[in-house]
Structure 1
Amino acid sequence: MSPAFEPEPAAAAVDRAGMWRHIAAFGDLLAREWRRSADLELPLPSGRMPDQLVIAATGGSAAAGDIVAALAAPVSEIPITVVRGRELPNFVGERTLVVAVSCSGNTAETLALYDDAWRRDAPLIAITRGGRLAARCEDDGVPAWRFDYDAPPRAAVAPLLAPLLRIVERLGLYLVTTPDIEQAAARCAALAAEQLAAGSSAARAAGAAAGRIPLILAGGPLVPLAERARNQLAENAKLLAASAALPEAAHNLVVGLDPALAPARWTLLALAAEGDPAAPYLEVIEELAASRGIPFLRLPIPGTSPFEQALAALVTVDALSWQAAIARGIDPTPIPEIESIRERLARLSSAEIST
């Protein structure tokens, strides 16, 4: 299904690679990949359920793992851990299912985590578009769930999220049904068209952040989406941002809102959903911000369940980053700083990077 949104000509001229298309297509793509992942099989030796689930990923490929881990945390009977970097926690072993996630299949850190899991005899499955990870899985007889969606890793979250949701559903860690997916996907498609349009709440939030450093606040299952907003603003809008989790931030970070400095430098953006356990904290922080002259703006997140709200927040913050990029006249797709770091590290014998 084609996206129900077309950018204005001026915006399209800035977004030359069409990042908006990936945001608009998220819902349809999630539903498609969920249906396709019905054939996904898990490596469970002797049919034994794992004692832990580890999602090994870095950069844009880790975002889906963060969302799944946060959604499942209140109900899962085993820990779900997202591991970034090059070394797995000591507890990983034969009773740990490790899911190696790399959009490109060439993420050096994820390949290192794959090797670490292999040495520990941990059951392994990969989610990837191909690359060295897929080749290694083929050589080792490890199952690899592959997809063919062509997008930068930060824009390919749907093909990663769908099989991860299927995995936690198959393990009985988090209940997801096809009607849940289809309903949320349809709402995301409509929401994307709304938030990408001029004058949307995402556009207003982008305007409020102009010339400032946005601090994104969220609580509960929306915490990973505050982190997503921070990273998307960096990659898409080339804008430095920060994120903080509630209620933790109410116990420390708020003290740093210096009234002599913060009003000129910061804008507070809050991801606010119905039934949000962070709501009381947002109210008092909003009062504190007002008393110190610090701009505070709520980004309303629709949805009647944490699942719907998490997906809606994903679409909203991605649209926020796109709106900020367009407002700054910056093409969202190029990431020259990351490419430069990758090239420099590739010349070192001890390290490499790919996202």
Structure 2
Amino acid sequence: MSQPAGQSPTDASPMWRHVAAFGDVLRAEWRRAADLDLPTSHEPDHLVIAATGGSAAAGDIVAGLAAATSDIPVCVVRGRQLPNFVGERSLVVAVSCSGNTAETLALYDDAWRRDAPIVAITRGGRLGERAAEDGIPVWSFASDAPPRAAVAHILAPLLRILERLGLYVVTTPEVDAAAVRCTRYAESLAPGIPADRNSVRAAAEALVGRVPLVLAGARLAPVAERARNQLAENAKTLAAAAVLPEAAHNIVVGFDAAAAGRWSIVALAAAGDPAAPYLEAVADLAAGRGIPWLPLEVPGSDPFEQVLAGLVAVDALSCHLAMVRGIDPLPIPEIEAIRARIAGLPSAEVST
């Protein structure tokens, strides 16, 4: 979509209000989710978050946070079939913003067949109806945001589930502090703030006409994945994501003259990140090969604050790039076309 006459590339997009509201929504939904019910009182052997697309982003965040503290595996399953280990001793959290995501409904059916305890998180739709009919606890939320912008609505109940099970414990004061930091950070990245005082807007302007490779340490790995997806959906830009130190063992070999002419690296960094030495080494390598290096310093005093602020940073980046390119971030006709095509196939042709 071309930019309307007289409109500045920095005019706020319709998606921006969701970026700006992330902290406030998280704080409100965290308090509301204190009443969330679970189908089991004992600690399961596995916690499986069944989700796809934008609804899965919050699952990636909590799985990353829980990795350092949980005594059981916490994983996100995308697609239409659960791993073989899922059963009566598992807890499956079926997440679909719309409640009509075909893959999540298939995973719900799979969990039901396996006699796994289930809880649903949704705005309604068929998932809400099915769960209510089956006597499954349903956590409902209201939002006009598209699934990719409803991450705070889903993140809050997932954090409550982890807290309830003792897998990752965050307190209300910690949520409040992180939420305030996210709100202030979003204000500093607003479309009206010029590029010389807005590192995210500056990075977006530098990305025009290039392919972003989003690079991060393991602490911010879910944020790098989020950036790749948001750049695609909001800015309509093909992007890639890689995580250090793994990327230092393979992807860096591809830093050549062709990459220098087309790619730019968006480097997500946070204070205290163990991946910092790798980022420095890869930055030097990229400089020597002529590949533009765009560092984004993610604020926060601990991993919890940093990963939430990272979400704000990359969502803001995708919105800024959309605005600079004069593109409406809301339409996703390619996704809708694929959904329609798959929905028209006989069930036997779709893997379950």
For the superposition of Structure 1 and Structure 2, which TM-score range results when normalised by the shorter chain?
over 0.9
Query: Out of 284, 289, 294, which is 2:286 matched to?
Result: 289
Structure 1 residue 245 and structure 2 residue 239: aligned?
A: no
The percent identity for this pair of structures is 67
Structure 1 residue 229 and structure 2 residue 248: aligned?
A: no
3-state DSSP of counterpart to 1:239: coil
Query: Out of 261, 266, 270, which is 2:267 matched to?
Result: 270
- Give distance in 1, aligned partners of 2:251 and 2:47: 31
Deviation at 1:220, TM superposition (A): 2.1
3-state DSSP of counterpart to 1:215: strand
Contact 2:231 2:237 in 1 (8 A): yes
Q: CA RMSD in A?
A: 1.5
Deviation at 1:48, TM superposition (A): 2.3
Deviation at 1:67, TM superposition (A): 0.3
The aligned amino acid for 1:89 is P
Deviation at 1:340, TM superposition (A): 1.3
Structure 1 residue 35 and structure 2 residue 34: aligned?
A: no
Deviation digits for residues 128-165 of structure 1 (CA, Å, limit 9, x no counterpart): 00000000001100000000111100000010000000
- Give distance in 2, aligned partners of 1:177 and 1:153: 26
Query: Out of 159, 162, 167, which is 2:156 matched to?
Result: 162
- Give distance in 2, aligned partners of 1:139 and 1:69: 29
Equivalent residue, structure 2, for 1:94: 88
Contact 1:196 1:202 in 2 (8 A): no
Summarize the alignment of residues 1-355 of structure 1 with structure 2, pairs less than 5 Å apart.
10-11=8-9, 15=13, 18-44=14-40, 47-197=41-191, 198-199=194-195, 200-258=198-256, 260-350=257-347
- Give distance in 1, aligned partners of 2:220 and 2:118: 28
3-state DSSP of counterpart to 1:196: coil
Contact 1:14 1:330 in 2 (8 A): no
- Give distance in 1, aligned partners of 2:263 and 2:7: 31
3-state DSSP of counterpart to 2:234: helix
Deviation at 1:196, TM superposition (A): 2.4
Deviation digits for residues 246-292 of structure 1 (CA, Å, limit 9, x no counterpart): 1000000100112x211111101110000011100000000001111
- Give distance in 2, aligned partners of 1:49 and 1:265: 49
Deviation at 1:205, TM superposition (A): 1.1
- Give distance in 1, aligned partners of 2:11 and 2:303: 36
Unaligned runs of 5+ in 2: 1-5
Deviation at 1:296, TM superposition (A): 0.6
Deviation at 1:91, TM superposition (A): 0.3
3-state DSSP of counterpart to 1:318: helix
Deviation at 1:342, TM superposition (A): 1.5
Question: TM-score, structure 1 length as denominator?
Answer: 0.94
Contact 2:11 2:323 in 1 (8 A): no
- Give distance in 1, aligned partners of 2:169 and 2:77: 23
Contact 2:215 2:243 in 1 (8 A): yes
Contact 2:96 2:122 in 1 (8 A): yes
The aligned amino acid for 1:26 is F
- Give distance in 2, aligned partners of 1:147 and 1:115: 22
- Give distance in 2, aligned partners of 1:9 and 1:257: 37
Unaligned runs of 5+ in 1: 1-7
- Give distance in 2, aligned partners of 1:79 and 1:184: 25
- Give distance in 1, aligned partners of 2:158 and 2:93: 9
Deviation at 1:217, TM superposition (A): 0.5
Contact 2:94 2:120 in 1 (8 A): yes
